[in-house]
Amino acid sequence: MNIIIVGCGRVGRSIAEQLNTEGHAITVIDENVEALERLSDTQNIMAIEGNGATYSILREAEIENCDLLIAVTATDELNLYTCLLAKNAGVPSTIARVRNPEYITDVEIIKDDLKLTLAINPEYTCASDISRLLKYPGATKISSFSKGMIDFIKIKLTDSTPITGRRVADCASILKGVVRICYVERGGEFYIPNGEFILREGDLISLVVPARSAAKLLKTMGSLNSRSRSVIILGGSKIGFYLAKILRLAGVSVKIIEKDPRRCEELSEDLDGVMVINADAMDEDLLLSEHIDSADGVVCLMDTDEENLLASLYAKQVNPKAKIVTELGNLKFSSVVDTLPLDSIIRPKQLTGEYIIRYVRGMQNAVGNNVETMFKVNGDQAEALEFVVREKSAVTGVPLSQLNLKNDLQIVCIGRGGKVMTPGGADTIEVGDRVIVITKHKGLSDLRDILK
């Protein structure tokens, strides 16, 4: 596909890099020459200097041949206006990043009038993910499939976890219910385990489970800590704003520490029942005076990765029982970060890229059995994909044991008629199913791609 991205900030760059690896023809527009040069030096991407919200620049980017335009500048109004120009120029699909909380409801109401295909809000998405982690502190990561019916839950095995030291095939009798161990991370390596794979202490395992059974699973695994009732948010960013709103609705006591006085005033005006403190969150004495050592959860959302890492490590040191969530904007040095004693890491840029890639893959195969949900696994080593089966094909009506599946691929779950099942060899995929696949193969856009 021919894709134009307007905006070469951190989010725009991340999206461009990920879509480029998917094999699309990418053109990036921005007024920042240095940002464009950094991107074009490392990626096979067309870079155009200029204002993407003008017809002259869009024509230079060959807007008439564009299949999708993505506007992710720092200004919501500019993004919306750019998408409107693109639609009037004949572009079939447009995506705008809209971050302002005041615009969210309005954009949904007038989306058709704006000729906008999709509006994304990375900060709200991140806040929602963080709230789920605080709800189940024993999990290091939770992702949802099938419109919230199915959860992917990542847990670290300890010497007291019931399945530590056992074969995967022997775990079913312990875990009970519809649960499947999908993948294992160990010592920097990634495994899609078979029944003979033996689980060890320190393994990070990911399981798929019906959302209604998540609490029961975590209790069985010994990982069901009481949900967070008091949370301290370090940094008053947009993510912090959305998270505070979500937590307050759930009855959680929330405290935000932000060093910018003007931002503190804004937060105080917009957040009822949230204590907003104007102070430097990197001050140890201040953190102790605000009882960071007794909070149920600490979420680090400051301006730099370095601040977030240091604050997270300090919070874990003084409050080992708390759930610590760390925002990281830099996708690099993952091998180093993974060795640190951190609970959960949230990466807004990666989430945005995954969201858009999922949409693009759906566009490529809108009529067939296309991708509806997608998550990157362990950085970029694998993908978890949810396919919606809309028509008969070579994979439907055939027992799974008779399908010639690709290596390093596992069908982990099938949703049918509102129910979730862990499939066996005799089960079949049928029209109307939601099929969840974990694979090391990149770029699958149709369910038929699971076959060799």
**pLDDT the model gives residue 335:** 64
Position 30, amino acid:
D
Bridge partners of 181, per DSSP, are: 207
Geometric angle at alpha carbon 58, from 57 and 61, rounded to 5°: 90
Residue 290 and residue 60: Cα distance in Å, rounded? 55
Q: At what angle do helices 122-135 and 238-249 cross, to 10 degrees?
A: 40
pLDDT of residue 368: 55
Which distant-in-sequence residues (6+ apart) come within 8 Å of 182 by Cβ?
Answer: 152, 192, 206, 207, 208, 384, 410, 412, 438
Pairing type for strands 275-278 and 253-258 reads parallel
Residue 301's pLDDT is: 96
Pull the structure tokens for residue 101: 């909380």
Contacts of 440 (CB under 8 A, 6+ apart): 190, 192, 381, 382, 408, 409
Give the span between the Cα atoms of 390 and 367, in whole angstroms: 7
pLDDT of amino acid 283: 95
Task: Enumerate residue ranges in the chain where pLDDT < 50.
Answer: 367
Cβ–Cβ under 8 Å, residues 298 and 325: yes
Q: Where are the alpha helices (DSSP H) in 136-199?
A: 172-175
Determine the pLDDT at residue 278.
Answer: 97
Give the neighbor-by-neighbor strand order of the sheet with 46-49: 46-49, 25-30, 2-6, 68-71, 93-97, 118-120
Rounded to the nearest 5°, which phi and psi values hold at 439?
-155, 150
φ/ψ (deg, to 5) at 74: -75, -5
Question: What's this model's pTM, rounded to 2 decimal places?
Answer: 0.78
Sorted by where each starts, the structural domains of the chain and their CATH numbers stand as 2-120 (3.40.50.720), 138-220 (3.30.70.1450), 230-346 (3.40.50.720), 366-450 (3.30.70.1450)
